[in-house]
Copies of this chain bind each other. A is one copy, B any other.
Amino acid sequence: MAGSDRIVVMVTSPLEPEHVERMAGAYPDRVDLVFRPDLMPALRYIGDHGDPAFRRTPEQEREWHGLLREAEVLFDFPQHERFPLLDLAPKLRWVQTSSAGVGPLVHRLGLQDSDLIVTTASGIHAQPLTEFVFAALLFHTKKIAQLQRDQRVKAWNRFSGDELAGKTMAIIGPGRIGREIARIARAFGMRAVALARDADPARAEALGVDRVYGRLNLLEMLAEADCLVICAPQTPETVDLLGPDEMAALKPGAVFVNIGRGTIVDDAALERGLRDGRIAFAALDVFREEPLPPDSPFWELPNVLINPHSASTVDSENAKLTDIFIRNLGHYLAGELDQMGPLLDKKRMY
């Protein structure tokens, strides 16, 4: 039995034992940690947050919901629930999520008007995602596919390559990820520009970019983009942001990288841009439908690189997430709710 000052913390997605142990050991006098791998999908790889195809048996489901009813804190949102989360977990006061872009999930779980505290993983994916952006951009710019083709037939064809220095990186979604991309772009001697709400020089400086464009000047920004990176969350403002007009405005030969959300982009317009060569190369980590269906044209386009939404996942992810959670747990237990973070803005939904 938990004492009156004890709380129940429940882990709702798969997690490696070493992180569970750290959580359990952080405040043993105050926390009852519930971790039931037998009621969750098996870990498929380090950092896996669960196979979406997993289903509990009716008996397992009853046990799972019984546990949720007692939980005050959840580590990660439980996926696939068909009921409002606060009906399932009436004692719930705080959820620590394992990703940043949880706006649509919060909406689906009926939480947008609740006073539930939602802290996110915002920030921990900035560095692995930035590495993927530059892996993709350098793959194209340094003509690695051409090197692979020549190597296959043992052809020694000397050539003059292209370079990042002097090119323009355009960023949609200048949060922590966008700022990290801008920082590395500038280290490579690129110019960085970004779409932002406040298109003034002070905002550009705060974001670490050379210029910011407001929504009304999006087409102008696209015309300058040697590389366009989308790292925005899915919100009412970003859905369908890039349609046929925007694709047609892109600088010819641009590289297109989407590590944000698939719903931001009009797939037909993107496909057309890739086929007619206006978009020279695209690296796509996110899609409207995931897993990407076998009949999607993107699988077979020669100038597309597909990542199965794993660009943000690295072996060190859950250790960082556990650090964030334990720090927040300390503040929560001490009643320092204003010290917890990063918080989800339920209005902006990220």
Contacts and interface: CB of A to CB of B under 8 A. Distances in A.
Given A44-B158, A135-B141, A141-B131, A163 B316 contact: yes
B310 A158 contact: yes
A148 B166 CA distance: 29
Given A154-B299, A159-B310, A127 B165 contact: yes
A154 B308 contact: no
Each complex incorporates copies of this chain amounting to 2
B150 A308 contact: yes
The number of chain A residues touching the other chain, given as a range, is: 35 or more
A26 interface: no
A344 to B, nearest CB: 24
B315 A162 contact: yes
A306 interface: yes
Given A138-B139, A157-B308, A159-B313, 7 more contacts: A47-B160, A132-B142, A151-B305, A151-B306, A159-B310, A183-B187, A184-B187
Interface of A: 44-48, 127-128, 131-132, 134-136, 138-139, 141-142, 144, 147-148, 150-151, 154, 156-166, 183-184, 187-189, 290-292, 294, 299, 304-311, 313-317
